[in-house]
Amino acid sequence: MLEVTTTRNNHLIDPSVLVWGWEIPIYLFLGGMVAGMMIISGYFLFMGRNRESKCSCLYLPYLSIILLSLGMFALFLDLEHKLFVWRLYTTFEITSPMSWGSWILVLVYPLLIANIMMNLPESLAQKVPMLKKISEYIMVRQSLIKNLGLLNIIFGILLGMYTGVLLSSLGARPLWSSSLLWVLFLTSGLSGSAAFVHLIAKDKYERVLLAKSDNIFLAIELLVIIMMLVSLLSTSEVHHAAAMILINGPYAASFWVFVIGIGIVIPLIIQLLAVNHKIPHTAVAPLLVIAGGLVLRFVIVFAGQLSSWF
């Protein structure tokens, strides 16, 4: 379980007692998805697409709050000392990734709520006049909406980076010690989110744009994985052994088949053909991308716990 060790000044993860189950990969996956959706939504807001009634930026905040809350609940289930989790918010430690992550997550919620105000349900607006006034105040100020979009992009990037920094800060696991891990998780989150929004988007322009963008994200993700493995293989013997867990070790099949093959290469080929009008757009590629992103988190978390300095 995720051990939160309480000290006088901070709340730290004790890497010597890490035994993580399904909760942490789910939390990392959902956090990455929300991060990507915030970046996508923020981009559309910044470009003024909130004026379009079918813009995904009008309903993504609702989905983001739901997914983020589910991720936070999964993290809560994994905490060893659940009753003391509130202590993370009684201080801010600049050197603690846990402290950064906790406060980023807290700040994300009001930002998402502000986004929801741009598409407030009529029934709720009628029942709560104050919310209606706030919504009207935001909607007539395009400069404010652009700033909200920019904040979405910034906090989306921070949230996506944090999911990787959380692991890479734990030096007890050589597989997680790569400085590229946060880049991998951020790119994977963007890819999964682009695939997800491509599935649910009501606007044809957005579906095509996100399919093209996802091809770029998938190519970058594959490149980052290669660079990460090369970096581990060319460092120390311990890091070499950690990389081999993925290359030909216990998690090699899951890594090569589900992460690389099904999660990146196959959907990349399908979407390249689709955006070049060789085949029609279908739900197959986006679903494979999302599944591959989920398996990636499980493989990295579980394989990392097998790696050791001894």
User: Rounded mean pLDDT of 232-237?
Assistant: 89
Domain positions in the chain: 1-170, 171-310
Q: CA–CA separation, 182 vs 108, rounded Å?
A: 19
pLDDT tens-place string over residues 131-158: 888 888 888 888 888 999 999 999 999 9
Q: How confident is the model at residue 95 (pLDDT cuts 50, 70, 90)?
A: low
- Residue 189: the pLDDT is 95
- Out of 3.40.50.300, 1.20.1630.10, 3.40.50.1100, 1.10.10.10, the CATH code matching 1-170 is 1.20.1630.10
Question: Does the pLDDT value for residue 235 go beyond 80?
Answer: yes
pLDDT on residue 9: 36
pLDDT of residue 88: 64
